[in-house]
Amino acid sequence: MELWMWLLILFIIGQRLVELVIAKNNEKWMKARGGVEKGATHYKWFIYLHTLFFISILLETMMKLGQQEVVFHYFYFCVFFLAQLARFWCIYSLGRFWNTKIIVLPRVALIKKGPYKYVKHPNYIIVAVELFVIPMLFGAYVTAVIFPILHIMLLRIRIPAEEKALATVQKV
């Protein structure tokens, strides 16, 4: 793997680890105020999916070593960069309520600002784009096909659970 590939993958993994720390801090903050976690049984599958995603990119890329040179794709990188801006917008818009888990804080109005003013679940769209674009940057075409499909399958469980949980929250 070329240096830019290692730097990019390490950046993305580091970013995800920072997000997990933010989510854990937000979880503690919400639970200290009466927040209740919903739909916890499927959460582990998202952890497995995202862990296997990075392993798959690395394995697929390393299997191609010496076979072909991976060219830096500016288009995919621009899409990735825009997805990161959108990701930060989601996190910023939800503030202390942003989490990787479904946690509902009773008697708090549903947040409808930032991208949430326009789309119900913008973060899931961003993740789907990333699950396609990131492997494409590395020439990991099998990963680029398989993981967005697996993500969509998990969302068929996650979104109804989240909708059910959010139905208990007041709308502003």
**In this structure, is residue 160 part of a structural domain?**
yes
124-170 residue pLDDT tens? 999 999 999 999 999 999 999 999 999 999 999 999 999 999 887 75
Is residue 82 in some structural domain? yes
Q: Based on the structure, what is the number of domains in the chain?
A: 1
What mean pLDDT comes out for the span 38-52?
94
Domain residue limits at 108: 3-16+44-166
- Does 146 map to a domain? yes
3-state DSSP assignment of residue 112: coil
Q: What pLDDT sits at residue 172?
A: 43
How far, in whole angstroms, is CA 91 from its chain's centroid? 11
Angle between helices 3-32 and 122-138 (to 10 degrees): 160
**Coil vs helix vs strand at 37:** strand
CA 172 – CA 46 distance, rounded (Å) = 30
Helix (H, G, I), strand (E, B) or coil at 129: helix
pLDDT tens, residue by residue, 73-124:
999 999 999 999 999 999 999 999 999 999 999 888 888 999 999 999 999 9
Residue 12: helix, strand or coil by DSSP?
helix
Residue 49 lies in a domain: yes
Classify residue 119 as left (phi > 0), alpha (psi -120 to 50) or beta: beta
Residue among 80, 82, 158 at smallest CA distance from 120: 158
Q: Is the separation of the CB atoms in 19 and 100 below 8 Å?
A: yes
Return the SS3 of 172: coil
Q: 5 versus 26: which is more confidently predicted?
A: 26
Domain presence at residue 150: yes
Evaluate if pTM is beyond 0.85.
yes
pLDDT of residue 76: 97
Find how far residue 27's CA is from the centre of its chain.
Answer: 17
**Which pLDDT score, from 0 to 100, does residue 118 have?**
95
In a domain, 30, yes or no: no
Question: Do the domain assignments include residue 88?
Answer: yes
Q: How far is 101 from 88, CA to CA, in rounded Å?
A: 17
Residues 57/132, Cβ–Cβ less than 8 Å: no
The Cα 3–Cα 164 span in angstroms is: 45
24 located within any domain: no
